[in-house]
């Protein structure tokens, strides 16, 4: 049960205290005046009540602040999702390659107009562009609210220049220009054929791949050779230079036959994709152990497993 509040003793119950008792009381309470002690106790109780009240108010305030922030966030999200103010109205294209036509890219990305800017993703843009630009290497997007979408495109680097041997001898196939187009032809890292009205290699020279297949007329941005085929060609070229000291002049590629001929400063060496490249170089080393390289004047055929043909 609750205790009753303290009260003073009735006057008739009070009795005089002795000097000895007063001295003990003063020593016990360090001569602190009773009124001062009571004022201190009242202040402590008041401070505790204020602390409890302030903590309660702070708790309620934090709750309302969290509710307010959540309401604002939901309102902003709903505005981004459903307000036409955040529709895509402008698309800017940044390119690093002259093969990219900004107006062409704008036309491809036309379905993105009037869509919510916040919902547009990099994969969505890639799916639209890959039909026209299959040699895309990197796509970066930047959303500038409320209605501007910036797209940065980077294409695969070209790794070789393409020369196409024409069936018509009147056509010039030594200049590196694609027949009938007046543009320069190249192969990208993934084997896509690309043409450009200007040189794409810049100051860095790229090797030359000569395609001699009958009827070989590749279209722009179509794959004409697999990446493994390109890798094997360049690996063979590097081994001939580092291990045998043979400099490559040009490389003839036969896509249908799946073989390539590397013409060096001394003779032509024939490779294919049927047997591993190391086995073919093992045959070449065996040839050099038995015969001198000067005995082969035109070519050495390393494609056949049980023998080496040379002329």
Cα separation of 109 and 87, whole Å? 14
pLDDT at 182: 56
pLDDT band at residue 306, thresholds of 50, 70 and 90? Answer: confident
What pLDDT digit, counting tens, does each position of 6-22 carry? 777 787 777 777 888 77
pLDDT at 73: 83
Count CB neighbours of 45 within 10 A: 10
Tokens of 134: 């299959």
Burial classification of residue 293, based on how many CB atoms lie within 10 Å of its CB (0-12 exposed, 13-18 middle, 19 or more buried): middle
What residues contact 131, with CB distance under 8 A and at least 6 apart? 108
pLDDT at 171: 40
Tokens of 62: 């934090």
pLDDT band at residue 179, thresholds of 50, 70 and 90? Answer: very low
Q: What is the mean pLDDT of residues 200-223?
A: 82
What pLDDT digit, counting tens, does each position of 221-270 carry? 899 999 999 999 999 999 999 999 999 998 999 988 899 999 998 899 99
pLDDT at 305: 83
| pTM for the whole structure | 0.67
Q: 3-class DSSP state for residue 288?
A: helix
What pLDDT digit, counting tens, does each position of 15-45 carry? 777 888 777 777 666 555 666 777 778 888 8
Cα separation of 92 and 105, whole Å? 10
**Are the C-beta atoms of 164 and 185 separated by less than 8 Å?**
yes
Cα separation of 307 and 283, whole Å? 8
Count CB neighbours of 276 within 10 A: 10
Q: Which residues of the chain form beta strands (DSSP E)?
A: 90-95, 136-144, 148-155, 158-164, 184-188, 192-196, 208-211, 222-223, 248-254, 259-264, 268-272, 299-301, 309-310
Specify the DSSP element, H or E, that contains 189.
none
Rounded to 10 deg, the angle between the 277-290 and 227-244 helix axes is 30
pLDDT at 252: 93
Higher pLDDT, 81 or 234: 234
User: Residue 178 pLDDT more than 50?
Assistant: no
Tokens of 15: 């009795």
pLDDT at 180: 42
Higher pLDDT, 167 or 65: 65
- Structural domain 85-155, CATH architecture: Roll (3.10)
Cα separation of 229 and 260, whole Å? 9
Backbone Cα Rg of the chain? 44
| In the chain, % of residues over pLDDT 90 | 35
- Give residue for tokens 């390289």: 293
Q: Identify the DSSP state of 15.
A: -
Q: What share of the chain is helix, strand, coil (3-state, %, to 5)?
A: 40, 25, 40
User: Residue 167 pLDDT more than 60?
Assistant: no
């Amino acid at each position: 049960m609750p205790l009753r509040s303290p009260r003073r003793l009735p006057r008739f119950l009070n009795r005089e205290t002795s000097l000895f008792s007063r001295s003990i009381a003063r020593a016990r309470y360090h001569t602190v005046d009773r009124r001062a002690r009571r004022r201190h106790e009242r202040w402590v109780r008041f401070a505790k009540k204020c602390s409890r009240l302030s903590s309660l108010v702070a708790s309620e305030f934090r709750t309302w602040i969290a509710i307010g922030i959540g309401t604002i966030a939901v309102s902003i999200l709903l505005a981004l999702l459903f307000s036409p103010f955040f529709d895509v109205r402008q698309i800017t294209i940044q390119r690093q390659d002259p093969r990219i036509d900004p107006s062409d890219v704008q036309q491809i990305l036309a379905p993105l107009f009037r869509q919510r800017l916040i919902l547009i993703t990099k994969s969505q843009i890639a799916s639209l562009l890959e039909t026209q630009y299959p040699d895309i290497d990197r796509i970066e997007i930047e959303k500038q609210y409320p209605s501007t979408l910036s797209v940065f495109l980077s294409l695969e680097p070209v790794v070789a220049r393409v020369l196409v041997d024409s069936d018509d001898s009147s056509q010039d196939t030594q200049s590196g220009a694609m027949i009938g187009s007046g543009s320069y032809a190249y192969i990208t890292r993934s084997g896509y054929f690309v043409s450009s009205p200007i040189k794409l290699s810049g100051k860095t020279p790229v090797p030359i791949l000569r395609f001699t297949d009958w009827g070989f007329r590749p279209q722009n941005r179509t794959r004409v050779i697999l990446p493994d085929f390109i890798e094997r060609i360049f690996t063979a070229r590097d081994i001939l230079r580092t291990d045998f000291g043979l400099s490559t002049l040009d490389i003839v590629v036969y896509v249908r036959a799946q073989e390539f001929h590397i013409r060096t400063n001394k003779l032509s060496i024939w490779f294919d994709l049927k047997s591993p490249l190391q086995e073919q170089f093992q045959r070449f080393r065996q040839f050099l152990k038995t015969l001198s390289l000067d005995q082969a004047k035109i070519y050495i055929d390393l494609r056949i497993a049980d023998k080496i043909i040379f002329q």
